[in-house]
Amino acid sequence: MKKRILKSPANRLVFIALFSLMAMGACKSKKKVVAETPPPAPVEQVEAPATPSTPQPSAEEVAVGKLENYFNSVANSNNVQAANSTIQEALSMFSNQETPVLIVIHEESGIKDYDEPTTISKYLNYLKDTKKNLNFISDIRLDNSGRVSELELRRK
């Protein structure tokens, strides 16, 4: 026969008292250890000499920025003469006035559906007439002379 140690109320009381003393003792020792650790030494930060390592934008990025500005200027122009002068400036960036402009209307699993192909001249006049620039440049191709040879647009 086994004797049960915790059967009597006195034994239970002693067991609970020992357990609580051990628990409190463990907490106090952790607090002492934490309080006795010295603060970390200040770390000196060595400043590296500033080198101008900003990457230069590529020719495509520069062309995209200029074209987006031209498209917004044509769409937001107040009169036809201002729009026409902006269109002439924009056309100087293209290899010719018949440069193809493709507008992506849907893409699924890498397959793109395009709206009816147009030319840059027609697209700029469309912007002038509608006064809305609803597309952004998603792909641009430059020829050897740095002029735009193909433009792909997407809906904003």
Is residue 49 pLDDT above 90, yes or no?
no
- Whole-angstrom distance, CA of residue 154 vs CA of residue 19: 71
- Whole-angstrom distance, CA of residue 87 vs CA of residue 97: 11
Any domain includes 48: no
Any domain includes 121: yes
Any domain includes 7: no
139 three-state secondary structure: strand
Domain that holds residue 105: 59-155
Confidence of residue 11 (pLDDT cuts 50, 70, 90): confident
Residue 55, number of CB atoms within 10 A of its CB: 5
Is residue 68 pLDDT above 90, yes or no?
yes
| Amino acid identity at 123 | Y
- The CATH code of the domain that includes 65 is 3.10.450
Which stretch of 3-12, 30-39, 61-70, 93-102 has the lowest confidence by average pLDDT?
A: 30-39
Any domain includes 32: no
Confidence (pTM): 0.65
Q: What percent of the chain has pLDDT over 90?
A: 60
Any domain includes 18: no
Is residue 25 pLDDT above 60, yes or no?
yes
Q: What are the residues whose beta carbons fall under 8 Å from the beta carbon of 133, sequence distance 6 or more? A: 71, 72, 74, 75, 76, 127
What total of structural domains would you count in the chain? Answer: 1
